[in-house]
């Protein structure tokens, strides 16, 4: 009995101890739950939990405060009511796919706050398991990242602008609008001006420009700063080496914080200016060619044309010396027929070699335009005294063609170092072509005049008087000899068919008209008639007229008869 009693007492004590430990354990769990809830409710982050059915079963007070909803409204899928419609599907897809794979997830979506504003929220979740290893659901948090995201966008925008600022093909300057001091510049600005960024920063904006233009440019900037308006102009900037660079400036006045700044974009337009200058020069050159062409048509005197040409060429190419050289009959020398800039007495007298002892001679040998960049280093031909004595450095020369051989050479020269362009060469060659046509025409006129003289002498020798009748208009050209045969002067006989009718003897007129009509109707190969014409002295002179139709109109009718 005593042993039983002892065993009972011992078992009772053990049982009481287990009961006590169990009670203590339950108390601890309750205390832990309360402690967990306290932590969750006082956590700044929005916390949530869901069960194995994916339904939300817990959210903390920070969560509830954000949308301004009750605990019950947020359970299950109630929380999804605040998600932005554009983000909801992505949110659910991310959540369910991670849940099914038992993987952590992170996502960003917009959730409506209690004041109605959508805020960017970073949601994160991770699976949790019980002590026995069984999956129990997900636990996670949500953090408002709107400011962080906006800051990130601002930083990205700043970074983008900085990248554009640095990699821009144009020079960019930023200056304080009040003081005009430059506060920043990009890499292209350094390249354009030859200064480092450190040297540019702190300069006054007027220091970017040539000193002689600084005052005028400053007034332009001040005017637009006062108006608060931007402007775009073609101006010049000054390189560190002192050279001037043409630029197109687009400037605007803007605010950065509480400070007004000028943002200036400078584009190098050197090539554009060159192109504009080239077009302008080309127009001037074409105008000069036209003027020389008009002079060639207006005057048959070559000396007048040559003198006009050398003046226009010198003015157009902006050179001090121009020349027209004519190849002499022996083909060994060229004489200076016309020129500008040469010493007095040389024009009409000076000659140069037609071979390799002159630029002009070498041009004839080469049979194409010759450009000399520096006469002092020229090795293709010997420099003639005519060029050396005048200190000429460079020039161009082209051939003036003749009918069967070159007439001569047209040249332009300068004492300055200069690069002649392809347009300069074309211009000079076009002028030479005009002169060549004028020379050929002049030769033709001279030959024609000689032929007319021979014809006139022949007519005098045969006692013939030519006439030319326009059948359509009735006008007749009576030659000087025809008129003189009758003793008249040109002013005393009108050039028409009626004058002939008045001079012919009445008895001869019918036969003359009969023979004329017979020829006009193609019955005879030519017109022939003997008739008496009244002379100025009153005598009747017997003459023989012969003529032939030389032109017919589109209807086959005679329009012109020529005869003697």
pTM of the model: 0.51
CA separation (Å) from 66 to 47, 119, 283? 11, 10, 76
Q: How many CA atoms lie within 13 A of 276 on its CB side?
A: 6
Higher pLDDT, 321 or 472: 321
User: Alpha-carbon distance 525 to 541, whole Å?
Assistant: 26
Q: Give the pLDDT confidence score for residue 170 in this predicted structure.
A: 86
Radius of gyration of the chain (CA): 54
User: Alpha-carbon distance 396 to 368, whole Å?
Assistant: 11
Q: What's phi and psi for 371, nearest 5 deg?
A: -115, 130
Contact 217, 206 (CB under 8 A): yes
CA separation (Å) from 370 to 154, 257, 335, 435? 64, 64, 19, 18
Higher pLDDT, 47 or 296: 47
Element (H, E) at 7: helix 2-42
User: Alpha-carbon distance 142 to 43, whole Å?
Assistant: 11
The neighbour count for residue 110, using CB atoms within 10 Å, is 19
User: Alpha-carbon distance 535 to 354, whole Å?
Assistant: 61
Of 320-334, 335-349, 495-509, least confident by mean pLDDT is: 495-509
Q: Give the pLDDT confidence score for residue 8 in this predicted structure.
A: 45
Q: What is the pLDDT of residues 17-58, one digit of tens each?
A: 554 454 454 554 445 555 556 767 667 778 889 999 989 988
Q: Give the pLDDT confidence score for residue 348 in this predicted structure.
A: 87
Cβ neighbors of 126 (< 8 A, separation 6 or more) are 104, 138, 139, 140
Closest CA to 337 of 297, 308, 368: 308
Q: Give the pLDDT confidence score for residue 369 in this predicted structure.
A: 92
Q: Is 544 left (phi over 0), alpha (psi -120 to 50) or beta?
A: beta
Q: Retrieve residue 32's tokens.
A: 């832990």
The neighbour count for residue 87, using CB atoms within 10 Å, is 17
Averaged pLDDT, 246-274: 82
CA 154 to chain CA mean position, Å: 38
Ranked by mean pLDDT, the top range of 104-118, 140-154, 500-514 is 104-118
Q: For residue 480, name the pLDDT band (cuts at 50, 70, 90).
A: confident
Q: For residue 449, name the pLDDT band (cuts at 50, 70, 90).
A: low
Averaged pLDDT, 527-551: 83
Q: Give the pLDDT confidence score for residue 446 in this predicted structure.
A: 64
Of 127-136, 162-171, 238-247, 391-400, least confident by mean pLDDT is: 162-171
User: Alpha-carbon distance 174 to 192, whole Å?
Assistant: 15
Q: What is the pLDDT of residues 553-564, one digit of tens each?
A: 888 888 888 877
Q: Give the pLDDT confidence score for residue 84 in this predicted structure.
A: 92
Q: For residue 470, name the pLDDT band (cuts at 50, 70, 90).
A: confident
Averaged pLDDT, 139-156: 78
* Strands across the sheet containing 540-552: 476-478, 467-470, 558-563, 540-552, 527-534
Q: For residue 403, name the pLDDT band (cuts at 50, 70, 90).
A: confident
- The average confidence (pLDDT) of the chain is 81
């Amino acid at each position: 009995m005593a042993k039983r009693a002892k065993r009972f007492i011992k078992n009772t004590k053990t049982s009481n101890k287990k009961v006590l430990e169990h009670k203590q354990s339950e108390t601890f769990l309750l205390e832990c739950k309360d402690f967990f809830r306290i932590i969750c409710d006082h956590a700044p982050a929005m916390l949530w939990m869901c069960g194995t059915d994916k339904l939300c079963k817990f959210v903390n007070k920070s969560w509830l405060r954000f949308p301004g909803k009750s605990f019950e409204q947020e359970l299950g899928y109630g929380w999804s009511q605040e998600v932005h419609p554009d983000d909801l599907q992505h949110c659910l897809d991310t959540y369910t796919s991670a849940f099914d794979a038992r993987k952590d997830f992170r996502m960003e979506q917009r959730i409506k706050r209690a004041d109605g504003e959508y805020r960017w929220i970073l949601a994160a979740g991770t699976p949790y398991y019980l002590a026995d290893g069984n999956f129990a659901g997900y636990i996670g948090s949500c953090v408002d990242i709107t400011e962080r995201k906006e800051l990130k966008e601002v930083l990205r925008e700043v970074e983008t602008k900085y990248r554009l600022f640095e990699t821009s093909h144009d020079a960019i300057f930023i200056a304080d609008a009040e003081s005009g001091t430059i506060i920043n510049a990009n890499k292209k600005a350094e390249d354009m001006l030859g200064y480092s960024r450190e040297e540019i920063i702190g300069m006054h904006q007027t220091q970017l420009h040539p000193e002689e233009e600084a005052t005028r440019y400053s007034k332009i900037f001040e005017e637009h700063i006062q108006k608060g308006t931007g402007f775009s102009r073609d101006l010049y900037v000054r390189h560190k080496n002192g050279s001037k660079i043409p630029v197109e400036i687009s400037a605007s006045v803007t605010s950065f914080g509480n400070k007004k700044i000028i943002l200036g974009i400078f584009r190098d337009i050197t090539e554009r200016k060159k192109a504009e200058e080239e077009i302008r020069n080309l127009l001037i050159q074409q105008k000069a060619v036209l003027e020389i062409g008009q002079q060639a048509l207006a005057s048959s005197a070559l000396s007048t044309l040559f003198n006009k040409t050398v003046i226009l060429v010198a003015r157009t190419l902006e050179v001090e010396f121009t020349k027209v050289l004519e190849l002499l009959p022996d083909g060994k020398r060229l004489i200076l027929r016309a020129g500008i800039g040469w010493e007095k007495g040389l024009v009409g007298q000076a000659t140069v070699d037609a071979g390799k002892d002159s630029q002009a001679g070498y041009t004839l040998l080469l049979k194409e335009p010759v450009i000399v960049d520096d006469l002092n280093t020229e090795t293709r031909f010997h420099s003639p005294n005519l060029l050396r004595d005048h200190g000429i450095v460079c020039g161009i020369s082209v051939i003036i063609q003749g009918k069967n051989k070159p007439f001569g050479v047209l040249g332009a020269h300068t004492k300055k170092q200069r690069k002649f362009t392809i347009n300069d060469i074309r211009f000079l060659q076009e002028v030479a072509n005009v002169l060549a046509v004028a020379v050929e025409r002049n030769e033709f006129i001279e030959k024609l005049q000689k032929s007319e003289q021979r014809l006139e002498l022949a007519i005098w020798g045969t006692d013939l008087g030519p006439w030319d009748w326009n059948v359509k208009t009735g006008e007749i050209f009576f030659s000087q000899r025809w008129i003189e045969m009758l003793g008249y002067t040109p002013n005393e006989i009108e050039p028409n068919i009626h004058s002939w009718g008045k001079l012919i003897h009445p008895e001869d007129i019918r036969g003359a008209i009969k023979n004329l009509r017979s020829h006009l109707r193609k019955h005879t190969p030519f017109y022939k008639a003997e008739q008496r014409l009244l002379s100025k002295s009153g005598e009747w002179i017997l003459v023989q007229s012969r003529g032939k139709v030389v032109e017919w109109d589109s209807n086959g009718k005679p329009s012109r008869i020529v005869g003697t």
